[in-house]
């Protein structure tokens, strides 16, 4: 059984990590490696590096970006089918639209696990983790960086990824627009509605939902 499933809501929260300290970073990386499959671990390292690069370009604290990027998928060690029940067991609140979209639940569960398993107290980091799949209105630069890095990290290889990487270096909102448009196209092909967070982000960016 995944040790994350042994958690309960009154478990002791560990000391906060210090991403500016090399030993603390190494300990965090080791902890993450023990909880997620190897491919997810490699992706997480890629998102951490990409987040640092975008943070450097866009004037955001690089340690915060590294931490949020590293842990954004920390709940992926729990299979999608068990995400909602795990949230219920731990007292992680989910709205009806999120409960109906199991693949996005890991972002909200991830923010919870980042706090109770990894000790993160930085609300800006926890928020960026919770917004990395569906986004939302009024996203901070850090939120946008982690959201985009999930698609532009060096391990990603899909048609258009190069153009998306280039745009993320020119305009964060321009790159977000490309991401959201692609997401809405994928949902439309499946006949699925956009999550309210994505719909609000699309409206913020002036992307048509039609």
The dihedral through the CA atoms of 84, 85, 91, 96 has a sign that is: positive
The reply to whether 167 sits near Fe ion by the rule CB under 5 A is no
Given the complex with Fe ion, which of 18 and 124 has the nearer CB atom? 124
Question: Per CB under 5 A, which region of 117-125, 150-158, 177-185, 188-196 contacts Fe ion?
Answer: 150-158
Number of residues located near Fe ion, criterion CB under 5 A? 2
b/e 6-21 (16+ beta carbons within 10 angstroms → b): ebeeeeeeeeebebee
Size of the chain, expressed as the number of residues it contains: 210
Asked if 87 and 130 touch (Cβ cutoff 8 Å), the reply is no
Alpha-carbon gap, residue 9 to 2, rounded angstroms: 16
Stretch that binds Fe ion, among 50-58, 85-93, 147-155, 167-175 (CB under 5 A): 147-155
Stretch that binds Fe ion, among 30-38, 69-77, 169-177, 180-188 (CB under 5 A): 69-77
Among 122, 143, 150, 167, binds Fe ion (CB under 5 A): 150
Which of 163, 209, 207, 205 has its CA nearest to residue 188? 209
CB of 195 to Fe ion, least distance (A): 13
CA–CA distance, 25 with 30 (Å, rounded to integer): 9
For Fe ion, which is the closer residue by CB, 131 or 172? 131
Q: Which is nearer to Fe ion, 21 or 182 (CB)?
A: 182
Does residue 73 interact with Fe ion by CB under 5 A? Answer: yes
Query: Cα angle vertex 57, ends 54, 62, to 5°?
Result: 60
| Closer to Fe ion by Cβ: residue 15 or 81 | 81
The CB-of-45 to Fe ion minimum distance in angstroms stands at: 11
Minimum CB distance to Fe ion smaller for 73 or for 122: 73
Integer angstrom CA distances of residue 146 from 4, 14, 84, 182: 23, 24, 23, 17
Q: How far is the CB of 67 from Fe ion (least distance, A)?
A: 15
**Residues from 175 through 204 that contact Fe ion (CB under 5 A):** none
Binding site for Fe ion (CB under 5 A): 73, 150
């Amino acid at each position: 059984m995944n040790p994350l499933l042994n958690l309960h809501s009154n478990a002791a929260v560990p000391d906060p990590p210090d991403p500016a300290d090399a030993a603390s970073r190494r300990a965090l990386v080791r902890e993450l490696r023990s909880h997620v499959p190897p491919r997810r671990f490699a992706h997480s390292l890629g998102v951490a590096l990409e987040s640092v690069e975008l943070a450097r370009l866009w004037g955001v604290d690089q340690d915060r970006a590294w931490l949020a990027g590293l842990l954004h998928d920390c709940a992926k060690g729990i299979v999608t089918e068990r995400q909602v029940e795990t949230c219920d067991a731990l007292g992680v609140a989910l709205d009806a639209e999120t409960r109906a979209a199991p693949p996005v639940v890991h972002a909200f569960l991830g923010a919870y696990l980042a706090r109770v398993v990894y000790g993160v107290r930085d609300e800006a980091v926890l928020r960026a983790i919770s917004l990395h799949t569906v986004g939302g209105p009024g996203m901070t630069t850090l939120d946008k960086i982690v959201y985009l890095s999930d698609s532009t990290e060096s391990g990603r290889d899909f048609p258009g990824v190069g153009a998306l990487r280039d745009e993320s270096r020119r305009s964060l909102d321009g790159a977000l627009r490309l991401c959201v448009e692609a997401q809405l196209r994928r949902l439309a092909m499946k006949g699925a509605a956009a999550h309210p967070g994505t719909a609000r982000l699309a409206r913020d960016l002036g992307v048509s939902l039609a």
